[in-house]
Every structure is written in C-alpha cells, then in structure tokens.
Amino acid sequence: MDFQYDIIVVGAGHAGCEAAHAAARLGSRTLLITMDMNKIGQMSCNPAVGGIAKGQIVREIDALGGKMGEVTDHSAIQFRMLNRSKGPAMWSPRSQSDRKRFIEQWVEALSTTDNLCIWQDTVTELIIRDGAVCGVKTLLGIEMSGRAVVLTNGTFLNGLMHVGRTQIQGGRISEPASYGLTEQLRQLGFKTDRMKTGTPARIDRRSIDFTELQEQPGDQDWHHFSYLPTVGRELKQMSCWITYTNAETHEALRAGLEDSPLFNGQIQSIGPRYCPSIETKIVTFADKPSHQLFLEPEGVDSNEYYINGFSSSLPWQVQLAGLRTIPGLRNVVMYRPGYAIEYDFFDPTQLHHTLETCLIKHLFFAGQINGTTGYEEAAGQGLVAGVNAHQTINGLPEFVMQRDQSYIGVLVDDLVCKGVDEPYRMFTSRAEHRILLRQDNADQRLTNEGIRLGLVDEERKRVFEQKQAAIARLDAYLGETLVQPSEISSWLEAQSTGGLQHSCRLRELVTRPQITIRALAQAVPALQEILDEIGSEEVIEETEIQIKYEGYILREQQAAEKLQRLDRIALPEGYDYNQLQSLSTEARQKLNRIQPRTISQASRIPGVSPNDISVLLVMMGR
C-alpha cells in the first residue's frame, strides 16, 4: 500500500462516515481511519436517530445525497413523527434503530462507495508543512499523506470515563482513548477545553415487567427519513415503553451523591444542560416528585434495552438500587451501568464556515470535536466538512449553507459565530426561519445543491424531478378547478365549515383548517383521479402545507431576503479591528478573533451590539 490519498478522515462515527462518503462520492481518493472496523457508525448512546430539529437535519443530509436517512430507514424498528399536534414547522421525524443493523448498513454503504478505503488504526499526530496539513502518523508507525484531513474524533480525545469514584481511560466503554492530537494542536495555537456527556445503564428485557409500563407504539403510516421511495422500514416494528421515577427512587439516588463525580468535584468539565443526568435532575428539580423514563429496544434480536432519561455516573450499586424502585424494573438486571465521559473539544470559533480551521490550511473539524452533541449534528457537520475538503483541494467554490436554507446552516453558523459554552444541541427555536426549514421540504431546499455539487446520483435526481413535477401538477389543478355551491356546500357543512355562496377554486377550499386534500377528493371525484395518478402521499402532504401556510411562508421569505442583504456586504479578510476605536472593546476583541466574513455574520456574534454594526456599515461605505 502506498498510503497516498486526497483526503484522510479520522474517526468513523456519524461525522466521519458522512465526511468520507461525501468526499469519495465527489471523486477524491479518500481514506477513513477507525480504531475498530466493527464499530463503524456506532450508536454510542441511545439507539435512535432524529427528534426535535434533529430529524430535519437528517432529512437535509438525505436531500443532499448523504446516507444517514437511508441507513436509518433500513435499520428502523420504530418510526414516529413528533409534534404532529403543532404546525408543520415543528414536525420532527424520529426513528428507533436496530443498533447492530445500523452498523451493518453503514459498513455496506461505505464498502460500496468508489474511491473510499478503510484502515483500522489510531492517528497520533498530524503532519504539517508550511502552515498546511499534508498527512497523519498512526499508532502503528505509518505515515500517510493526504491533501486534506478531517478530524471527527468524537469523545475519544483524552477520553476519561467515570462510574462513581472509578475512573477509566477510554473514548467509549471498553474502547481506548486517543492521545497526542490535542497536545499537538494546543502547541500550534488552538484553544481547547473539556466537555462531559453521559449515558444510562443498559438492562435485560427478560427482567422487565411490561405489565407495569405504558406502551408507546410507533406510527404505521408512510413517513420515513429518505426521500427515495424505494427506501423504507424493513424490520419488525417494536414499541417503546414509559415509566416514572418516584420518591423512593430519588431517595435511593441521593444516598450516593457523595460518590457522584458530578457533585464531589471529580468532574470539572461542561455538561449538557438539555440532557441532564438523573442525579442532576433530582438536585436541580428537588421539588419534582417524578421523572419520565422511556425504555427503548436496542434491536430486533437483542434483549438489551436503553433507559432514556436515566443517564448517570453514580456508583453502579446506587444506579441498580434506584432502578429497582421503579415500576416495571423491580427485578431488573443490568448489562452494564451508565457512565459519564470527559473529552477534549476545540473552540469552534477557530473555524471558517466551511469547517476548515483558521490556523492550519486543509485541516477540517466535524462533530463533537467542535463542542456539539448528537449523532445528527455530527453527521451534518461531517457532510459539510467532507464536501469542503474536496472543494478546497480542487480549487472549487466552497459549500456554505445559509441560515434560511437549512438547519445545518444554522448549526455551522452558530458554532463559528457564537462558539459554545455547553454541548451544542439543535432545537427548532435556534432557527429564526423555521417555517422555511420544514422536514417535508428539505429536498426542495437542498437537492439542487446536491446535484450541482455532484453528490446526488441520477436515480435521486430523477425521483426529485418527478416529485417536483407532481407537486406543480397538483397545485395547478387545485388552482384552476372551480366548484359550484350546489356541488359541494352540503359536504362542506358536514365538515363543520361554511358552505359556498358562489363558485370557488379548490385551492381556496384547501386553505380552510378543516379541509385536507385527501378529504376534498371524497367530494370531487376528478381530484381523486389526479391523486390516484400521482400516487404519492408525500406529494399530497407537501402541496397541502405549501397552500395552507403560503402567507406565512411568503412573509418569512421576505424577512430572510432582508437579512441576506447584510450577508452580501463582505468584510475584509484579516482586518485589524483595533483600528476602529468607535467599536466597543468586546467587539474589537471578538471581531479580531472570529474574523466574520460578512456584516450579517458579525451581527450574530455575542457582544457585538447594533451600534458596533452601524460602525462597520460606515466603515464599508454603507
């Protein structure tokens, strides 16, 4: 082997898999280095993909030609569309996955990707010449050359696990940590810090009394993650189960707090505020009598269950004692206890929006190394980094998505402009244009970008174009077809909505809250014929959303266009903002450190005030 590559991706978690697939798909000779080929795409924590805002990210990855959506659908054992009681901007797909099948699907996807090689080893050092990365050195003593390197190290950089007062070096249970990279990058001037995350115990299904639990089945409709109609759920569908902690549980857990790494000073790093451990919950919310838990199956052929909501680093005996006070878990048997893990991350304000580092050319960071948490956030970054690594070394235009274009664009912009003071998790509330960033229209927003880049294959392109044509056809028919009061008024009144006084276009009827396109077809046989010919529930749903929320969508598009004007005002690269004494001291410091590319980016930096933006506009002659 000559170990000469265009792009080297370090780490085969969710970020690494998407980065390697994207780079290779675009034509770069790519090497994916992983410590363990049996853990490619490993779901380190819960066996689920998607959720609030996270599901939108997965659909965006799929729309661009990434693989996470397909892998999730093939391995799904339960699917649910969350927030259906709210507006479509809040609908979020979520899927339980068979953990083993998820890995198998990723291995198959990567193994059949042209230009992609896999090597099992540990990277200990970067090779850097003239301010640019040009390869890596490994634990086996091999030097590998690469024109770009993408680091996706997850929780492995100086990883340290905690179970009570017991500390174990490692990046994941029974897996070694990675050493050397943090120290090298710190010497090169990178700012680094420590973060903490955690995971709950895994328990034996055979020891659970399901008669004491509340069943939570999945949806049985047509929804899934991938936009490809040939991809769908293949495995036996399974339920999740709900139970609650109680006063006895909290008492049992409080008895072990003096040995809790979170409260005895053993852990000093930053933890996730939005996914607290069970011991944090009983201290922070001491007046709350119970906390909801979800028991999630790990796979079709597995007895292993995940306890969502019971993340803990308490001593294993305390965890077990607490679990055995919970309905359904009185005789529970643990496979392994929960644990906390501390790991190194790097301040993401040291990155460009391409996820290339500011200090070292052709070096990219993606995933938890940037201070994020979650499979989906990591995968989205991985795709961006993999694409831009290819674009950069080939002198092609950079790939940067805007905040009104995708949740991934919001994620990257937040990281680069704002940095992180806790593990970053995506929420719909982070996106100011979320009515535009719905889960149903990710392909409309992004698939043309994937086609332009070369990520989207001919089959996906054909499916996308057919769908767009079908939406246009259905919308045109609804907009052109008139119905008379005599034809439909009695049916409308039966739907608890007013009858007609004069003729009306079908599109106007669809704007009524009580009317759906499917229901309307019951009263208009010709419409039913159109729907039968289209044969796609996704086309019908997306058309209906666009019609019902047209006014809101138009208003949001106009607001986004106003902000885009500020994005078109570029700031000089490498400018010394200390020259502008009219700026506040904090603004000068942060602008010098982050070096935003546009006025719009500068406006999103914490500590840069509207007055500071006015000064910058004057400087730019505006």
Q: For the segment 113-137, what is each residue's pLDDT rounded down to a tens digit?
A: 999 999 999 999 999 999 999 999 9
Q: Are 64 and 447 in contact (CB under 8 A)?
A: yes
Q: Mean per-residue pLDDT for 539-564? A: 93
Q: Are 70 and 231 in contact (CB under 8 A)?
A: yes
Q: How far apart are CA 340 and CA 280, in angstroms?
A: 12
Q: Mean per-residue pLDDT for 461-486? A: 96
Report helix angle 375-393 to 407-418, nearest 10: 80
**What pLDDT was estimated at residue 616?**
87
How confident is the model over 253-291, as pLDDT tens digits?
999 999 999 999 999 888 888 889 999 999 999 999 999
- pLDDT exceeds 80 at position 1: no
Segment among 56-60, 155-159, 421-425 with least mean pLDDT: 421-425
More confidently predicted of 251 and 621: 251
Q: How far apart are CA 374 and CA 426, in angstroms?
A: 9
- pLDDT-derived band of residue 604, with 50, 70 and 90 as boundaries? confident
Residue 378: both structure tokens together:
């990591």
Q: Mean per-residue pLDDT for 423-434? A: 92
Sign of CA dihedral 595, 601, 602, 604: negative
Q: In the 3-class helix/strand/coil scheme, how is 35-54 assigned residue by residue?
A: CCHHHCCCCCCCCEEECCCH
More confidently predicted of 608 and 38: 38
Name the H helices within 76-159.
99-111
**What pLDDT was estimated at residue 199?**
96
- pLDDT exceeds 70 at position 251: yes
Residues in CB range of 273: below 8 A, 6 or more apart = 422
Q: HSE of 294 in the Cβ direction (CA atoms, 13 Å)? A: 13
Contacts 24+ apart (CB under 8 A), 315-321: 315/163, 315/164, 315/165, 315/166, 315/256, 315/259, 316/163, 316/164, 316/201, 317/256, 318/164, 318/252, 318/253, 318/255, 318/256, 318/259, 319/201, 320/201, 321/252, 321/255
Q: Mean per-residue pLDDT for 403-412? A: 96
- β-bridge pairing 192-204 and 76-82: unpaired
**What pLDDT was estimated at residue 436?**
96
Q: Which of 309, 313, 198 is nearest to 243 (CA)?
A: 309
Burial (CB count within 10 angstroms: exposed 0-12, middle 13-18, buried 19+), residue 252: buried
Residue 589: both structure tokens together:
């410091």
Residue 445: both structure tokens together:
């927003």
Cα–Cα distances in angstroms (integers) from residue 492 to residues 36, 325, 408, 510, 526, in the given order: 61, 54, 42, 11, 17
Element (H, E) at 185: helix 181-187
**What pLDDT was estimated at residue 183?**
97
More confidently predicted of 189 and 565: 189
Report the share of the chain in percent with pLDDT over 70.
100
Instruction: Record the pTM.
Output: 0.94
Q: Which of 122, 135, 132, 191 is nearest to 370 (CA)?
A: 191
- β-bridge pairing 92-97 and 334-336: unpaired
Q: How far apart are CA 160 and CA 97, in angstroms?
A: 27
In Å, how far from its chain's centre is CA 275?
15
The one-character DSSP state at 157 is B
Q: How far apart are CA 75 and CA 68, in angstroms?
A: 11
Residues in CB range of 259: below 8 A, 6 or more apart = 164, 165, 314, 315, 318
**What pLDDT was estimated at residue 177?**
96
Segment among 6-20, 288-302, 560-574 with least mean pLDDT: 560-574
Q: Mean per-residue pLDDT for 128-157? A: 97
SS3 534: helix
Q: Which of 44, 8, 203 is nearest to 117 (CA)?
A: 8
- β-bridge pairing 304-311 and 292-297: antiparallel
Q: Mean per-residue pLDDT for 78-90? A: 95
Arithmetic mean of pLDDT over the chain: 95
Report the share of the chain in percent with pLDDT over 90.
86
More confidently predicted of 6 and 270: 6
**What pLDDT was estimated at residue 564?**
81
Burial (CB count within 10 angstroms: exposed 0-12, middle 13-18, buried 19+), residue 196: buried
Q: Mean per-residue pLDDT for 532-541? A: 96
- pLDDT exceeds 90 at position 80: yes
Question: Tokens 């009394």, residue?
Answer: 209
**What pLDDT was estimated at residue 622?**
56
Q: Mean per-residue pLDDT for 354-370? A: 98
**What pLDDT was estimated at residue 68?**
98
Residues in CB range of 85: below 8 A, 6 or more apart = none
Q: How far apart are CA 567 and CA 581, in angstroms?
A: 24
Q: Which of 372, 370, 374 is nearest to 424 (CA)?
A: 372
Residue 353: both structure tokens together:
């929006």
Residue 371: both structure tokens together:
């201070």
**What pLDDT was estimated at residue 601?**
87
Residue 188: both structure tokens together:
């090169």
Question: Tokens 């106007």, residue?
Answer: 508
The one-character DSSP state at 428 is G
